[in-house]
Structure 1
Amino acid sequence: MRNIIIVLTFFIAITGVSQELNCKVVVNAELTGNENFSIFKTLEKQLNEFVNNTKWTNKTFLPQERIDCSMVITVNNYSSESFQATLQVQSSRPVYGSSYNTPVYNFNDKDFNFTYLEYQNLNFNPTQFQSNLVSVIAFHVYMILALDADSFAENGGDPYFKQAQTIANYSQQGNFKGWKLEDGLQSRFTLIDNVMSATYKEYRQVMNSYHRQGLDIMSENPKEGKEKIAEAIKLFQAMNSRRPNSFLQRTFFDAKADEIAQIFSDGPNVNIASLKEVLQKVAPMHSSKWQTIKY
C-alpha cells in the first residue's frame, strides 16, 4: 500500500510540474560552413531545455495538454559570439474528436540577430531585458500560448498577448532589429501591435470561431463544421476593407491555406461560391489553392 501511495505521489508531482510546451528547437548552421562547431549543438540543447522546461504561465498543463510546436533557427553568419539568423516558428493544436492536429501559428522571423557565449545561462525575466536571444524566443513562446488559448476560448489569449507586448517594449533597448515601428511591416513589433489593435479585432474572432465552432464540431457534424468555418473566414471581410491584405491576414492564411483548400474539397457539400470569392479578396496570394476547391 505504501508503495502505491509513493507511486501515485510521484505521478502527481510529475504531472503537476509539466510545462506548457512540447517544442522541438533546431539550430541549422549549414550556411556558415561550420555546422559541426560544438557551439551550435550546445545552443540547440540549451534552447530545447529553456523552452520546454521554463514555467511560462501560472497554469498547470498535463503532459497530453502541452502545445506541440517547433522553432527552426537558420544561422546565416557566425563570428565569435555574434549570430545572424532567421527563425521559423510553428505550432498546432488537436482537433476535438479526431487524431488531427491543425496548424495555428506559422511565422518566419527574418530579423533574428543575437549574441551568445557557449554555455551562457538562458533566463527569462517577464519585466526586464536579458538578451535578444531570450527575448525573441520568449516573445514567440507567448504568441504560441496566446493563439492556442484564443483558439479554445474567446479572448483566452489576453494575458499572453500582453506579455508578448511587454517583451517587445522592453526589448527595444537592446537595439536589435524587429522590435520597433521602423523595422518594417512584417516585424515582431508589427505582429503584436496589430494583434492588440481594435483595427484588427476580427483576427482574434476568426481564430476562435474557426477552431472552436468549426473544426472542433466536424467529427460530429462535418457539414455544420464546414459552414461555421466558412462563416469565420468571411469575418475577415470587414478587416480587409479597413486594411487590405494586412500582415495578420497573411499570417493566418500562411498557416491555414492548405487546410482550408482540403476542407472544402472533400466531405459534405456546402455552398462555396461566396466563400471562394471572399478567399480571393482577403488572401489573393493563395489564389492557386482556392482554384483547387471544386465543390
Structure 2
Amino acid sequence: MYRLLIAFLVGFTLTTNAQELRCNVVVNTELSGNQNLPVFNTLQKQLREFVNNTKWTNRVYGPQETVECNFYINVTEYSGDAFKASLQVQSSRPVYGSTYYSPVYNFNDKDFTFRYVEFQNLIYNENQYESNLISVIAFHVYMVLGLDADTFELNGGDEFLKQAQTILNYSQQGGAKGWKIEDGNQSRFVLIDNLMSPTFKEYRSVLYDYHRNGLDLMQENVTKSKENIAKAIEEFAAMNRRRPNSFLLRTFFDAKSDEIEQIFSDGPNVEITDLVSTLNRVAPTYSSKWRNIKF
C-alpha cells in the first residue's frame, strides 16, 4: 500500500506516442534448443512492429491513453516453419493523478501453434482468416483494448470484445487449438464466450467500479477509494453463486491479487469483514494473500 500511495503523490507523465498500444513483444526460445537462430530475432522484431504500428481501431487515442501491454512468446518447439509455443499477455492502465499502472489483463495462452517463414508479411484483416499467428495476436490485442476500455466506461469495450469474438469465429476454420468449445475450459473460446455472457455480467461492471470509482479516486480520498474497491470486489459474490470457481474469476485475480493485498494491508482503516469473506469464497487459491488484509 505504501508504494501505491507514493505513486499517487507523483504527477502522471505524458508521452508523445498516440498509438493505441505501447507493447513490448518478446520471443523467448530457451526451451526450443535452437535459441541462436536469426529467424527468432526477425519474428520478434516483426511482431513488435505489427502490434505497435497496426491501426486497430477508429478511435483517436491521446498520448495519455496509450495502453501498456506485454506479449511474451515462449517457443518450446521449432521445426521448419512450424512453431509450438505459449503466449503470456499482460496489460495495465494508468491510475488518475499518479505514475502507478494497475494490472488489468493477465492471460496465459498455452495453445499457441503457428507457421512462420522469416520476413513474411504480417497483415491483419478484420473479417478474414490469414494465419493462426495473426489471429492469436489480434485476438489478444482486442482483449487488451476491450478490457482497458471497460475500466474507463461501463461496458466501454463492447466494440473491441465483439471484434475478438469475430476473430474467434473465423479462426476456427484454421484447425488450431484454442478456438473451439472442445479445447478446454481455459481457452480463448471460453474466455470471450464468458465475457460476453449475461451469466458473468458482474465481471465487466467490477472492472469499471474497481478502477474508475476506486483507484482513480485514490489521490482525492484514500478511504473512499478503498471502500469503493471493496464494494466492487463484493459484486463477484453473485457471479460466484451462479458459476463457482469460474475461469473469469481466476483471470481477474491472476492480475489483481497482489494489488488487492497491497491496498488493504495498510491504513487508513475501512470495514473489511465482508471483503475478506467474499475473497475467500471467490478466490480461495489466494487465501494466503487475503490473510494479510488488516485495514
The CA distance in 2 between the partners of 1:280 and 1:170, in whole Å, is: 39
Give 2:108's aligned residue.
108
Using the TM superposition, give the Cα deviation of residue 33 of structure 1 relative to its aligned residue in structure 2, in angstroms.
1.6
Q: What amino acid is aligned across from residue 96 of structure 2 in structure 1?
A: Y
Give 2:130's aligned residue.
130
The CA distance in 2 between the partners of 1:17 and 1:264, in whole Å, is: 34
Q: Deviations over 1:203-237 (max 9, x none)?
A: 00000000000000011000000000000000000
Using the TM superposition, give the Cα deviation of residue 267 of structure 1 relative to its aligned residue in structure 2, in angstroms.
2.6
Give 1:11's aligned residue.
none
Conserved in 2, the CA contact under 8 Å of 1:25 and 1:47? yes
Conserved in 2, the CA contact under 8 Å of 1:16 and 1:60? no
Give 1:233's aligned residue.
233
Give 2:18's aligned residue.
18
Using the TM superposition, give the Cα deviation of residue 59 of structure 1 relative to its aligned residue in structure 2, in angstroms.
1.0
Gaps (5+ residues) in structure 1?
A: 1-14
What TM-score does the superposition give when structure 1 sets the normalisation length?
0.94
Q: Deviations over 1:71-114 (max 9, x none)?
A: 00000000000000000000000001111100000000000000
Give 2:12's aligned residue.
none
Using the TM superposition, give the Cα deviation of residue 294 of structure 1 relative to its aligned residue in structure 2, in angstroms.
2.3
Indicate the SS of the match to 1:204: helix
- Bigger RCO (CA 8 Å, 6+ sep): 2
The CA distance in 2 between the partners of 1:250 and 1:190, in whole Å, is: 13
Give 1:4's aligned residue.
none
Indicate the SS of the match to 1:152: coil
Conserved in 1, the CA contact under 8 Å of 2:16 and 2:63? no
Using the TM superposition, give the Cα deviation of residue 18 of structure 1 relative to its aligned residue in structure 2, in angstroms.
3.5
Gaps (5+ residues) in structure 2?
A: 1-14
Give 1:52's aligned residue.
52
Q: What amino acid is aligned across from residue 126 of structure 1 in structure 2?
A: E
Q: What amino acid is aligned across from residue 71 of structure 2 in structure 1?
A: M
Using the TM superposition, give the Cα deviation of residue 17 of structure 1 relative to its aligned residue in structure 2, in angstroms.
8.9
Give 1:171's aligned residue.
171
Conserved in 1, the CA contact under 8 Å of 2:17 and 2:66? no
Indicate the SS of the match to 1:58: coil
* Larger proportion of helix: 1
The CA distance in 2 between the partners of 1:18 and 1:119, in whole Å, is: 27
CA distance 1:207–1:234, change in 2 (3 Å): same
CA distance 1:257–1:37, change in 2 (3 Å): same
The CA distance in 1 between the partners of 2:54 and 2:253, in whole Å, is: 30
Conserved in 1, the CA contact under 8 Å of 2:234 and 2:274? no
Give 1:5's aligned residue.
none
Q: Does 1:242 align with 2:242?
A: yes
User: What RMSD in Å do the two structures reach over aligned CA positions?
Assistant: 1.2
Give 2:39's aligned residue.
39
Which aligned pairs between 1:1-295 and structure 2 lie closer than 5 A? 18-295=18-295
The CA distance in 2 between the partners of 1:152 and 1:62, in whole Å, is: 14
Conserved in 2, the CA contact under 8 Å of 1:150 and 1:157? yes
- Displaced runs of 4 or more, over 3 A: 15-18
Q: Deviations over 1:1-54 (max 9, x none)?
A: xxxxxxxxxxxxxx9993200000000001112111000000000000000000
